[in-house]
A and B are shown apart, each in its own frame.
Chain A
Amino acid sequence: EAGVAQSPRYKIIEKRQSVAFWCNPISGHATLYWYQQILGQGPKLLIQFQNNGVVDDSQLPKDRFSAERLKGVDSTLKIQPAKLEDSAVYLCASSPLQGPSGEQYFGPGTRLTVT
């Protein structure tokens, strides 16, 4: 079974520029998550989708971050405009079940550097 795919793996941009990340979850997984992981910290949830609807976006900086999940499969996360403090690894995860064993499967992440 293929894992969660993310691209690009690395991105360097200047502040005030825009950037987009793509995620393809494991086939059949209804739930998709985007996390931000700053160096030395644990991942922080930005947004959670159930199929193509948003379940939780309480920690998403909506003035500059946006995300969508078209047709309940792939997802994109966009930052516009980027700030220096957005430098982090952006992780995508998916989950197949709604029961207790709702373990999440993570992709390799996209490392963003804002200069």
Chain B
Amino acid sequence: DAKTTQPTSMDCAEGRAANLPCNHSTISGNEYVYWYRQIHSQGPQYIIHGLKNNETNEMASLIITEDRKSSTLILPHATLRDTAVYYCIVRVGGYQKVTFGIGTKLQVIP
């Protein structure tokens, strides 16, 4: 799997957009970008994934650069419940194993 680089921690004011960056400069053409998050004392939760195009679902938006070397997860209106560790992962997909890094600890501040 391609390696990803994320900031260790970030703060975001409640109600504002949270933009979480991820670098994956060695991503292969058949690898997808996945985002998971892990709220304290819970198992990781799938958020979104994409290949080349930007993606949006009820939880978040994923913006992937044209060269696919980086991406940004956007939580449009962060709430206190969004405080969690966010993991950016690249993988081929399907049942290929997920390799987690350290992730970004997002703290949403009232």
Contact = CB atoms under 8 A, between A and B. Distances in A.
Say whether A and B bind each other. Answer: yes
B87 A42 contact: yes
A50 interface: yes
Nearest to A102: B94
Contacts of B98: 33, 43, 45, 104
Given A91-B44, A106-B43, A107-B43, A101 B93 contact: yes
Q: How large is the interface on A (under 10, 10 to 19, 20 to 34, 35 or more residues)?
A: 20 to 34
Contacts of A109: 42-43
A41 B97 contact: no
A35 B9 CA distance: 23
B79 to A, nearest CB: 21
Contacts, number: 63
Nearest to B102: A42
A65 interface: no
A55 B44 CA distance: 21
Best-buried of B43, B85, B96, B103 by chain A (most CB within 10 Å): B43
B46 A105 contact: yes
Interface string A49-89: 01000011000000000000000000000000000000000
Interface of A: 4, 30-31, 33, 35, 41-45, 48, 50, 55-56, 91, 93, 95, 97-109
30 contacts: A4-B43, A30-B95, A33-B97, A35-B100, A42-B102, A43-B98, A45-B97, A45-B98, A45-B99, A48-B95, A50-B95, A55-B95, A91-B43, A91-B44, A95-B95, A97-B94, A98-B94, A99-B93, A100-B49, A100-B51, A101-B93, A103-B46, A104-B44, A104-B46, A104-B98, A105-B46, A106-B44, A107-B43, A108-B42, A109-B42
Complex A-B, nearest 4 residue pairs according to Cβ-Cβ distance, in ascending order: A106-B43, A42-B100, A100-B93, A103-B46
